[in-house]
Amino acid sequence: MLAISYTSSLSILSASTVRSSKQNNPRKRNRKRGNQSQFDKSKRNDLNFPSSSPTPLILKQNPQPQTKIQALDAVVSDLEQAILRNGIKVDTQIFCSLLEACYELNAIDHGVRIYRLIPPRLLCKNMEEEGAEPDRHTFPRALKACGGIGSIHVGEEIHRHVVRYGYFDDGYVLNALIDMYAKCGDIVKARKVFDRIASKDLVSWNTMMTSYIHHGLLANAMEIFRHMLKAGFKPDEFSISTILTEVSSLRLGGQIHGWVLRHGLEWDLPIINALIASYSSYGLLDQARWLFSHMLERDIVSWNSIISAHQKDSRALTYFHQMQEDGVMPNAITFVLLLSTCAHLGLVREGESFFSLMREEYRIKPIMEHYACMVNLYGRAGLIAEAYEIIVRKMELEAGPTAWGALLYACSLNANADIGEIAAHKLFELEPDNEHNFELLMRIYDSQGRSDDVERVKQMMLARGLD
């Protein structure tokens, strides 16, 4: 079996791997991404786009890989060519390292591509055939990779090997099994494994609790939290901050805060950060500000939490200036919050200033969320041409659904059909099952009295199985 045969450490792509993928892949460097030249005019017939609507999209070539995800894409593409076209046999350790890289980078699509390249003989090969004996460290590493790409079938095979090799009562291995099943979507099996652990440790409780939270099962997560307390375990900062971040009930949040106070954890930094975020989500900004002002120390999460709490008023900007005065270095999240605040308040010049400050003074490279905020900033202010210019001329990334969605929403606010059609057409390709995009385009047409086009979009939705 593939995952079991990996006896060495499952490591993320190293910097040298990233560098070599940049240097040794001229074919990838010169390839253009997807459909970036122009609209396929044949597709426009469904919506009867006016001849004035088509506008060239992103015409720039794919840059040399600058990030780990770009390097991973280059490596996987080369691997596909080597295996599928040239029939080259690849060492299992390469599959192993790439699968863990996919997990670390949350690159599920890349993980699926890699999984499809693995020869069946490797998936079925057992440890004796590989001449290596698994240990309690091999199984969790392999399970982590399976969870990262959602490969539950391989994970179940690993589970059988766990039993076969006598690790069925090893808490370290079983905790990894809980995590794998939960990440693969089978929370029932995750709970069954959890219940079979005779001597649960804090990791066991935390893993099960966070698994429920990630599946949106907050009541079950709270049940685990209470059982953990009854079992005599003292929740650590991870347990408290995790549950606080997700509780939707003010009563539950207050109970947890009370527990924190009774156990002397009121000044634990991650917990206070989570409390600030929790009270902010309930709209209790006075409590959030009180906690923030009485903190003995603050980190970037503290500042981002209080800025996030005030995204609907100018105090977010005031807190940022205080943060600068305290000498705290902002990060990418800080500027997403600031740009979002400016967009909400209609502060175009301030938003432009923050975007420049981020790049020029703090040397933070813009990510998709920053560009989407700029599109939203211009769009909300009615500057649709400027918003569109961000996507087609100024972005250093290929625009994704976040940016195009912000543009389409802005067009719906301003009844701009020309650019709205462009954004909608792109979103229909990127998110073919997202009803909201169709509804926004219909809203644009309806605002202009174009009932025929509204009906045409409705028919498109029906054809795609969308109601």
Q: Is residue 173 one of the residues assigned to a domain? A: no
- Is residue 44, in this structure, part of any structural domain at all? no
**In the prediction, which pLDDT does 242 show?**
74
Instruction: Give the residue with greater pLDDT, 383 vs 48.
Output: 383
Q: Is residue 115 part of a domain?
A: yes
- Number of domains into which the chain is organized: 2
**Is 118 part of any domain?**
yes
Q: Are residues 136 and 16 in the same domain?
A: yes
Q: Distance between CA 223 and CA 314 in Å, rounded?
A: 40
Averaged pLDDT, 321-343: 96
Q: Are residues 151 and 269 in the same domain?
A: no
Tens digits of residue pLDDT in 24-82: 343 333 433 333 333 333 333 344 333 333 333 222 334 444 567 778 888 888 888 88
Is 85 domain-assigned?
yes
**CB-based contact 118:95 (threshold 8 Å):** yes
Query: For residue 369, how many other CB atoms are within 10 A of its CB?
Result: 18
- Contact yes or no for 173/140 (Cβ under 8 A): yes
Burial label for 238, CB within 10 Å (0-12, 13-18, 19+), is middle
- Whether this model's pTM surpasses 0.75: no
pLDDT tens for 350-376 read 999 999 999 999 999 999 999 999 999
Would you say 207 and 192 are in contact if contact means Cβ atoms under 8 Å apart? no
C-alpha dist (Å) from residue 220 to 44, 48, 111, 209, 244: 48, 50, 30, 8, 14
253 and 151 housed in the same domain? no
- Give yes or no: residues 139 and 259 share one domain: no
> pLDDT (tens digit, 9 = 90+) per residue, 165-209?
888 888 899 999 999 999 999 999 999 999 999 889 999 998 998
The domain boundary, picked from 145, 167, 189, lies at 167
Radius of gyration, alpha carbons of the chain: 26
Considering the domain architecture, whether residues 6 and 151 belong to the same structural domain is answered as: yes
Which whole-number Å values give the CA distances from 75 to 63, 72, 80, 90, in the listed order?
15, 5, 9, 13
Residue 346, domain member (yes or no): no
> Concatenated DSSP letters for 238-291?
HHHHHHHHH---HHHHHHHHHHHHHTT-TT-HHHHHHHHHHHHHTT-HHHHHHH
User: Cβ(366)–Cβ(358) under 8 Å?
Assistant: yes
Whether 136 is covered by a domain: the verdict is yes
Residues 120 and 246 both lie in one domain: no
Q: Which domain holds residue 293?
A: 234-297
What residues contact residue 177 under an 8 Å CB cut-off, 6+ apart? 143, 155, 159, 162, 190, 193
Q: Are 265 and 296 in contact, with CB atoms under 8 Å apart? A: no
Do residues 443 and 424 touch, judged by C-beta distance below 8 A?
Answer: no
